[in-house]
Amino acid sequence: LSGIQKIGHAGILDPFATGVMVMLIGRPYTKVSDRFLQDDKEYIATVKLGEGTDTYDCDGSLMHTSQHIPSLKEIEDVVQEFQGKILQTPPMFSAKKVEGKKLYLLARKGIEVERAPVPITLTTKILDYSYPELTIQVSCSKGTYIRSIANDIGEKLGCFGHLISLKRTRSGSFHLKDCIDANSLSQPSFSYTPYLRKSL
């Protein structure tokens, strides 16, 4: 659509997720993609408690259920564990590689392998809670899996949980207000110039 062959990105979104995805259009931007990939990100996520899935999100198969309804105080205590520097184990259903093999390809075959925990930095805030849905805001370093946070919160609460909604509200210095709707990219009159000139 842009007439430019080299197009990159600064972090993809899961299929059901919405929000900010920074596109790097043209060689001047793709050649510095590493800089954008290092940016921290911010999300608003909704977790459904009481159910756990194999993918840790709503696209997966239901694996566990629980009748336990955690109190707001329980949730507040658990969310405190998702602050600052922590270690996060990547989910099996992810593009991360172990010994050269993508984890999701192994997971689809029913194979689970050991995954080394990865250090991440995050700030987690509770925005709303009405069982079974818990909405949180997460500001995090690159490589953070919000699906894993949803799953881990559920496990720590003793009731399971999985991600049912995810919106990326910021990627580095780019906020939702900086974005254009993907549908407008097909409009003949759309001009890329203002976005190509976005300051590095």
The secondary structure of 96-124 as a DSSP string is -EETTEEHHHHHHTT-------EEEEEEE
Tokens of 40: 């921290």
Which is more confidently placed, 96 or 28? 96
Look-up: residue for tokens 């309804």? Answer: 69
The answer to the question of residue 2 being in a domain is no
SS3 193: helix
The answer to the question of residue 129 being in a domain is yes
Q: Return phi, psi of residue 173, to 5°.
A: -90, 5
Q: Mean pLDDT, the chain, as a whole number?
A: 86
- Residues taking part in catalysis: 14
- Lowest mean pLDDT across 22-36, 73-87, 97-111: 22-36
Tokens of 95: 């593009």
Tokens of 48: 């459904």
How many domains, in total, are found in the chain?
Answer: 1
Q: How far apart are the first and last CA of the chain?
A: 23
What would the mean pLDDT of 143-171 be, rounded to a whole number?
A: 97
DSSP 182: G
The answer to the question of residue 30 being in a domain is no
The answer to the question of residue 62 being in a domain is yes
**Pairing mode, strands 18-19 and 118-130:** unpaired
> Residue 46 in contact with residue 133, Cβ under 8 Å?
yes
Q: Find, among 62, 91, 82, 61, the residue nearest to 157 by Cα.
A: 82
Q: Return phi, psi of residue 157, to 5°.
A: -80, -10
The answer to the question of residue 197 being in a domain is no
The answer to the question of residue 159 being in a domain is yes
- Lowest mean pLDDT across 93-97, 161-165, 191-195: 191-195
Per-residue confidence (pLDDT) for residue 141, from 0 to 100: 96
Per-residue confidence (pLDDT) for residue 176, from 0 to 100: 87
39 contacts: CB under 8 Å, gap ≥ 6: 10, 11, 22, 142, 171, 172, 173
| CATH number of domain containing 87 | 3.30.2350.10
The answer to the question of residue 5 being in a domain is no
Domain range for 68 is 40-181
| Residue 190 scores a pLDDT above 50 | no
Please state the pTM of the whole predicted model. Answer: 0.84
Look-up: residue for tokens 């009481």? Answer: 50
The answer to the question of residue 4 being in a domain is no
